[in-house]
Amino acid sequence: MTNDRPQSPRVSIGLPVRNGANYIAEALDSLLGQTFTDFEIIVSDNASTDATAEIVESYAGRDSRIRYVRQPENLGAARNYNCTVELARGEYFKWAAHDDLCAPTFLERCVEVLDQHPEVATCYARTRYIDADGNPLHTSNGGSFPAGSDPAERIRNLVAKEIESDDVFMSVFGLFRITALRNTGLIASFVASDQVFLLEMALEGEFFEIEEPLFVRRLHPLTSMRKNRRPHEQAEWFDPAVRQRIVLPMWGLWRQHNAVIARSNLDLRSRVGCYYRVMHRFIRKWDALAGEVKKGVCQVLGFK
């Protein structure tokens, strides 16, 4: 597929979905209502069995910026997310979930930042959380990243933000330079791989947080992590081919963080500093790490 700029939008929005009929119309309305209009929406339907196809095709018939792709089978969340990147033609890229919303100026503000600051690879806004019915819950505390051109410093800053709050993980729904995005492994087929992806993006460039809560995250019982509570269920959500009996997601996430640092171009001293910061983050979760080991041992021994 060509990327001919005169015919290509400036922004590509990837909307991976599976059985999202409950909220996808609201999500599309919030994207189509953006003040910045030079974008495409790539909806990758992961073999939905509800009314998702009918809803999206209805919207696509009314707005040519929507491209609908239906997968013949459930590819898993990871491959479906990555499919939207493969199809993207824009200079900038954003993932959108079928149950989240964006304020009308979200794209406008993020594009403005990336246009004016070439050192920034990831631009995102503070998050406002709502419940299943759209009622407000709370807003993220935010706190801008310190500017820094050194990749090791950016990794340390990101990990420090992760220790402060999980809110920083919502930056996965920010706006990325697609050239930087495609230098990463995108979303991998393991639990919480979006966190590892963000670490890779920190190697590519700076993070910039817009202080206004322009991103709206919906918390409801059918979100992937609430619906799939057990580790093996979460693993299968990312990749249905995974049939592991024993899944230790926190330990695996720690290992994958170290793997990103190991294959980076950082010098030895910088790597050691990053390893230490990552270790500090995960050691703080010692109770979860110990709990995973306990559950794994019980499963091996045949106990529930």
Model confidence pLDDT, tens digit, residues 160-204: 999 988 899 999 999 999 999 999 999 998 889 999 999 999 999
Going from N- to C-terminal start, the domains of the chain cover 234-300
The pLDDT value given to residue 230: 63
The pLDDT value given to residue 57: 98
* Whole-number Cα distances in Å, 215 to 32, 75, 94, 301: 15, 27, 12, 45
pTM above 0.85, yes or no: yes
Residue segments in the chain with a per-residue pLDDT below the cut of 70: 1-6, 142-144, 223-232, 234-235, 237-239, 242-246, 298-304
CA pair distance 136, 269, nearest whole angstrom? 45
The pLDDT value given to residue 191: 87
Element (H, E) at 17: strand 11-17
Model confidence pLDDT, tens digit, residues 246-290: 678 889 999 999 999 999 999 999 999 999 999 999 999 888 899
The pLDDT value given to residue 302: 61
Identify the sign of the CA torsion 181, 185, 186, 191. Answer: negative
